[in-house]
Structure formats: structure tokens, C-alpha cells
Amino acid sequence: MCGIIGYTGARATLPLLLEGLARLEYRGYDSAGVALLPGRGGDGILATRQVMMAPATIVVRKAAGRLDRLQQLLRKHPPEQDLNGFTGSGVIFTTGIGHTRWATHGPPTDSNAHPHLDCRRRVAVVHNGIIENTLSLREELLSRGHRFTSETDTEVIAHLLEEALATGQGMYCAWLQVVARLKGAFALAALTADAPGSIWLARFSSPLVVGRGADGWLVASDIPALLPYTREVYVLQDREAAELLPDQARFFSFNGESLTKVPQTVAWELEQAEKGGFPDFMLKEIHEEPAVVRRLLTRYYPATGDGPDLGLPWGDGWWAQRRKLWIVASGTAAHAGLMAKYWLERVAGLPVEFDVASEFRTREPLLSQRDLALVISQSGETADTLAGLRLCRARGVPTLGIVNVPTSSIARESAAVLLTEAGPEIAVASTKAYVAQLVVLALLALRVAQARARHAAGVAAEAGGTPVVLPEDSGTWRQQLERGLTVLPTAIEELLGRQVVIDPRIVEKLASSEHVFYIGRGLDYAAAVEAALKLKEITYIHAEAYAAGELKHGPLALIGPGTPVVGILTQDELISRTLANLHEVKARHGWVVGVGPQHAVASDEAAFLDAYIQIPPLPGPARPVLAAPALQLLAYMVARARGTDVDRPRNLAKSVTVE
Ligand code: M6R
């Protein structure tokens, strides 16, 4: 959440900052701002460090609300106005930082928007994260006469810098002195009028990436903002800092040791971060799902007939010795994990404990070094999930990260990593990354099942080893899941290629409802939980998922005439039971919709349904993955019918880097 962008070089920085902020919009924000320093562009990147033709004045513009409010302000009060007539002499702003804020300390107002300045207006700072010792620092600074103009935690940093610089030391020493005083999570970018042309960076727990453009250096909190300028990125790690100059970057640790950093090449293309003719990112990303699944199968499922090849460092015996698998994730990634619990237990006979990361990190889980922690995250930066990973590592539990962003903290800190290869996901509502997570998790279940089955056969032959007991039908499940995955891309294509995927009556009904319920059993329950999240986050309709069998234990009281209930019916052995629960809803005059293959509603038993969303044929254990695009489209169409901002739902952020 929140976005940082910065540039120093030979070109005018403002258009670049605004484009960068627009590319970071999906991170979620409620206000935005920029701080600029003048240089003399157009005649080489050294110009900004030559004799200044304008006074080194930090010009700041900030506004609560969306970026267009900031743009309006910049049109009304162009930054040049603050340079007292120097504009005619070729002066342009060549160093700048920008920020989109998501309120933590203080409401979203113009004054709380970043950048924040010190008392003398010689230092400007933008910050993602939370400074936890802000109260004591603020009191200290107030007692020494500093005047605060915002309620934010960030402003203390500007005043601390002011004090450190007032002692006569240079910005390098001042910067290290200040970051050493901060507790909490922070990605920081700062500039000072005393050393124009430099941008100062520091990172602890919030992401920050640096890139070298053709004519200067850039920094951003996320890779998509850098894609128009470079594919080579330097990822700052915890307790690392940097100074960006127009013609070079220097990296150093919080201890002041100089660091040599090697750039990583990002495989993402700029087009992947563009809408490509679709009205919004969410619809585009749903339509990318077949390609994403194909890419994953090519990477992890070679046609050798030996099953998945995930390149993990663990052999059959290791898998056989696992006592338990923990799944730790948040939001949609957690829902992918819930689905995987059913696969892993049924196919691989491995007990799985599932937890949302925010609970896991605070509940003293009974971990053992014979367990494996599976940590799932699209961004790889979610604070709760990262904390869960670190907790496991601290207890000596092996960790496996399933991550979409290869340069992320979770990718870096997990003992082993499986990449979900979905490309940049821009819409706040996760769609293609969820499908990719499901596919990787299904492949993992197959790999673990294969390892444990092979080990069981070997141990039986030798006698006396640790016996692995696989469920009786694990072989059938394994075959069906494997077959289902291989035809999944075509099945999703068939679904998305239909003229009418979702009956407009369902869209109309849901769009005019205040409450919607999703029910299912087993894998379908996991699919229902995700479907409800998707609907609530982009339509603002109250949507809830229940295990179908739980309805009678309370939720039935919520069903009144016309209340929509969507039943997911992809699992053959559970269809009759879930239909029976839908029948109970119908008896209370609810409006019932089914989702599943054609044969699920072939009998009279299902004739009472008010509407049906049909998915193409696919072997049973893989069917809930195919239900995902259908249920995502349903949420999408209801959101469009209600006129909400599909890509940027209110109050939400793409990457939640605070606890
Ligand atoms: O980046 P992560 O996968 O760790 O994010 C976890 C959740 O914040 C995320 O899935 C969230 O629930 C999405 N908005 C759901 O669409």
C-alpha cells in the first residue's frame, strides 16, 4: 500500500513522477503529492550538479483524493511559480520524489499527504510503512521547538533530519543517524535543498526498487512503475540505504558499509502492465488466465511422463518424513491455500493446518522442525504473511514460498520458492494470480503424492522404515487432478470465449441485493470463500461464504424472500448434499443459483434452481479451478452493473505492507 516514486537526472521530473504515480495507483491511496528541486536539464546529466540558475528551493504540491486532484492543483499552481521568475532561464525540475498515501496516522487531508518538510523547508521526505516510535520522537522534537504541520508519523523524519544536518554533518551521516532512530516499517525517499540532485533512500520491511534509466536514476516501491524506463532493477533489502545521483547510485548499509549490488533483470513486459484494449485491468487479467496456466505447465510439468518437476531441493524420503504442512497466507492467497489443503490431504495423505497469516503470527502455533510451512503471496510483501514466514524460520521450520513477484521479500527469505509466473497483477482484486497459485499448489500436491507413494513402495519392499499411509482413493484423485490440469487452459478459454458466460438475470439480481451468500462443500467451500471475497471487495455488497452443511446452524435465519444464494456444485460426490442445502434455501423463498458442470443439474433433483452458471467439462478435482474465472466474471459484471471502480476498490490496497 502507498507508493513511492523518485527520479534524478537530465529530464523534467514532474511528468515522469506523475506517470509513475499513475502506475502505482493500484497500490491503493487516498492522497498524493510531489516534491521537486530545480536543475538545468537538456544539456547533460551533470547539469543538475552545476551552478544552479534558480535557488535550490523545494517546491511541494499535494492534494487529498485521486491523482487528478493533484494534477488540477499543478495546473492551477505550476511549480515554476515558486521560483520567482527564474523560469525564463531554462530551469526545469530535474530531481523529484512523489507519493501516494494510504492513511495510517491522521485522516486523508491535503496537509497529511506526503511529502513532509522540516521547519526550514530544506528537507522533503516520503514514506511507506509505519513509524512505531513516532509519539516519543514527536514529543522530543516538540520540546525542542519544532513545529509540525501534519498528524502523520512521517513528519518526524523530516525534523530529525533537520536537526542532524544542523550539526554541520553532511547528508550521508545525517541520513544514517536518522534511520537508526526509527522503529517500525519504512521505505523512505528524501531530498534536501542543501544537496540538489541527490535522492536518499532507506528500507526496512517495506519494498523499494531502484532502476537506471537512459538519462538518470529512478526509485519506486514497485516494479511496474519502472517498466517504461528499465528492466534492470536493484532491490534494496532490509537495513539498506542508497544515494541516487543523476549519473550514479551508491548503496550502503545502515551501519555505513558500502555495498556492491548487482541488478536483477525483470522478465515482465511493459504491455503486461497496460490495459491492452480492455476497459480495466481486472477483465484483462481474467482473460490472461489461460496463458498463465500454459506458462506454468511449460515450466513445471515437462512432458516426460514423470509428473511435475518443481526443482525443489527435497527428495522422496524428506517428504515422507513430514509430520504436518502449515499453510500461511492472507486474503485470496489464503483461499488458494484452503483449496490446497483438500488436495494435499486427499492426494498426498499429508496433514495440513491452514491459518490466515494475521492469526498464525499471533497464536503461538505448535511448530516442529519436521513440518513444512507453505507461505503463499502474490506480492511477496504482505506484512502478516512475511511475519508468519519469519516466525517459521526462527523456529527452524523449513519454508516454501509460492510467490508472484520474484524480487519480493517472501521470495528472498523462503528456503525454497515456486514462482506463479502470472506477470504483474495490477487490479486490486486478485484473479490471475489466484488461478496461478491454485495450479502451482495442485502441482505441488501431485509432486508430494508421487514422492510419498514412491517412498511408501520402497519402505514396504525394505520393511521396517517409516510407513506413509495414503488415502485409499489418492491414486484416482491424483490421476484426475493431473488430467484436469493439462486441459485446464483450453477449458478456461472455452469458458471465457462463450457469448454469454453469466446469465444477465443473475447479474441483475445480485446487483440489486444487499446480501449474497455462497455455499459449497470440500473444494467447493474453498471456492465459495474466494467467490464471496471477490464479490464484496469490488461491488461493496455484503457477501458471505458458508460450508453448505453449516447453513442450518444459524445462517438460514438470514434467508428471506429473494435472498440470493450461490451454490457451488463441482464435486460429484457432494452435489446432492449441496443441492439439498439449496433446497432448504428455496423453501424459505431464497433465490438460488448453481455453479458447476452440465451433468450436475441434469436430473430433476436440480430443477428448482432459479439460474445456473455452467462450466465446461473437466475432471472433478480440477473443476473448482475452472469455477474461479466464472465466479470472478460474475463479481466483475455485478461491479460494472453497480458502477464501482473495479480496479481500485475503496479502502483497499494491492499490497498490504502494514500489520
Ligand atoms: O500479495 P498477497 O497475495 O500476499 O495479498 C494478500 C491479500 O491482501 C490479497 O489477496 C487480497 O485479499 C486481494 N485484494 C484479494 O483480491
**d(C-alpha 380, C-alpha 383), whole Å:** 9
The pLDDT, as a whole number, for residue 45 is: 37
The pLDDT, as a whole number, for residue 471 is: 86
- The CA distances from residue 493 to 286, 330, 332, 424, 489, in Å, are 10, 28, 22, 20, 6
Least confident of 70-79, 442-451, 456-465, 523-532: 456-465
The pLDDT, as a whole number, for residue 127 is: 95
Given its phi and psi angles, is residue 329 left (phi above 0), alpha (psi -120 to 50 degrees) or beta?
beta
- The fraction of the chain above a pLDDT of 90, given in percent, is 77
How confident is the model over 532-547, as a mean pLDDT? 97
Averaged confidence pLDDT in the chain: 91
How confident is the model over 451-455, as a mean pLDDT? 89
**CA nearest ligand 1 atom 11, residue:** 331
How confident is the model over 52-60, as a mean pLDDT? 75
Residue whose entry in the numeric block shows the C-alpha cell 471502480 = 645
Has residue 501 got a pLDDT over 90? Answer: no
Both 521 and 472 in one domain: the answer is no
Has residue 44 got a pLDDT over 60? Answer: no
Both 520 and 620 in one domain: the answer is yes
Pocket of ligand 1 (CB under 6 A): 330-333, 377-379, 382, 385, 428-430, 533, 537, 652, 655-656
Both 221 and 145 in one domain: the answer is yes
The pLDDT, as a whole number, for residue 52 is: 46
How confident is the model over 93-113, as a mean pLDDT? 90
Name the DSSP class of 229: T
Q: Residue 47's pLDDT band (boundaries 50, 70, 90)?
A: very low
Q: Residue 467's pLDDT band (boundaries 50, 70, 90)?
A: low
Both 246 and 316 in one domain: the answer is no
Has residue 433 got a pLDDT over 80? Answer: yes
Q: How far does the centroid of ligand 1 lie from the alpha carbon of residue 85, in Å?
A: 49
Atom of ligand 1 nearest to the CA of 378: 3
Answer whether residue 285 is part of any domain: yes
End-to-end CA, the chain: 11
Answer whether residue 38 is part of any domain: yes
**d(C-alpha 534, C-alpha 550), whole Å:** 21
CATH of the domain at 19: 3.60.20.10
The pLDDT, as a whole number, for residue 46 is: 36
Asked if 292 and 438 touch (Cβ cutoff 8 Å), the reply is no
pTM of the model: 0.85
How confident is the model over 520-547, as a mean pLDDT? 98
**d(C-alpha 94, C-alpha 629), whole Å:** 45
The pLDDT, as a whole number, for residue 465 is: 54
Q: How many domains does the chain have?
A: 3
Q: How far does the centroid of ligand 1 lie from the alpha carbon of residue 43, in Å?
A: 45
**CA nearest ligand 1 atom 14, residue:** 429
Atom of ligand 1 nearest to the CA of 379: 1
Which of 339, 348, 357, 340 lies closest to 520, judged by CA?
339
The pLDDT, as a whole number, for residue 186 is: 93
> At residue 521, what is the residue type?
R
Least confident of 80-94, 387-401, 470-484, 539-553: 80-94
The pLDDT, as a whole number, for residue 582 is: 96
Neighbours of 266 (CB within 10 A): 21
**CA nearest ligand 1 atom 4, residue:** 377
Least confident of 286-290, 391-395, 470-474: 470-474
Q: What is the DSSP string of 541-567?
A: -EEEEEEGGGGGGTGGGG--TT-EEEE
Q: Residue 43's pLDDT band (boundaries 50, 70, 90)?
A: very low
Answer whether residue 647 is part of any domain: no
**CA nearest ligand 1 atom 7, residue:** 331
- Looking at 247, 273, 299, the residue that finishes a domain is 273
Q: Is 654 a catalytic residue?
A: yes
Answer whether residue 648 is part of any domain: no
Both 254 and 313 in one domain: the answer is no
The pLDDT, as a whole number, for residue 55 is: 65
pLDDT digits (tens, 9 = 90+) for 3-24: 899 999 988 999 999 999 998 8
Answer whether residue 209 is part of any domain: yes
Has residue 42 got a pLDDT over 50? Answer: no
Q: How far does the centroid of ligand 1 lie from the alpha carbon of residue 382, in Å?
A: 8
The pLDDT, as a whole number, for residue 50 is: 41
Q: Is 2 a catalytic residue?
A: yes
CA dihedral 99, 278, 298, 495 (to 10 degrees): 130
Has residue 466 got a pLDDT over 70? Answer: no
Q: How far does the centroid of ligand 1 lie from the alpha carbon of residue 430, in Å?
A: 6
Beta pairing partners, 353: 326
Both 609 and 582 in one domain: the answer is yes
- Looking at 453, 468, 495, the residue that finishes a domain is 495
Both 39 and 141 in one domain: the answer is yes
- The fraction of the chain above a pLDDT of 70, given in percent, is 94
Both 222 and 290 in one domain: the answer is no
CATH of the domain at 628: 3.40.50.10490
Helix, strand or coil for residue 211? strand
Asked if 582 and 609 touch (Cβ cutoff 8 Å), the reply is yes
Look up the domain containing 215 and give its range: 3-273
Q: How far does the centroid of ligand 1 lie from the alpha carbon of residue 331, in Å?
A: 5
The pLDDT, as a whole number, for residue 88 is: 54
Spell 31-46 as b/e; 16+ CB within 10 A means b: bbbbbbbbbbbeeebe
Atom of ligand 1 nearest to the CA of 652: 14
- Looking at 444, 467, 495, the residue that finishes a domain is 495
Q: How far does the centroid of ligand 1 lie from the alpha carbon of residue 2, in Å?
A: 15
Which of 25, 32, 19 lies closest to 427, judged by CA?
25
Both 121 and 174 in one domain: the answer is yes
**CA nearest ligand 1 atom 12, residue:** 331
Answer whether residue 650 is part of any domain: no
Q: Quick one: 423 exposed, middle or buried, by C-beta within 10 A (0-12, 13-18, 19+)?
A: buried
**d(C-alpha 574, C-alpha 578), whole Å:** 6
Neighbours of 233 (CB within 10 A): 21
**d(C-alpha 259, C-alpha 250), whole Å:** 8
> At residue 273, what is the residue type?
A
Answer whether residue 424 is part of any domain: yes
Answer whether residue 657 is part of any domain: no
Both 267 and 287 in one domain: the answer is no
Q: Given the residues 284, 341, 509, 654, select the one marked as catalytic.
A: 654
Both 517 and 485 in one domain: the answer is no
CA dihedral 374, 2, 130, 402 (to 10 degrees): 10
Both 603 and 558 in one domain: the answer is yes
**d(C-alpha 141, C-alpha 145), whole Å:** 7
Least confident of 444-448, 456-460, 627-631: 456-460
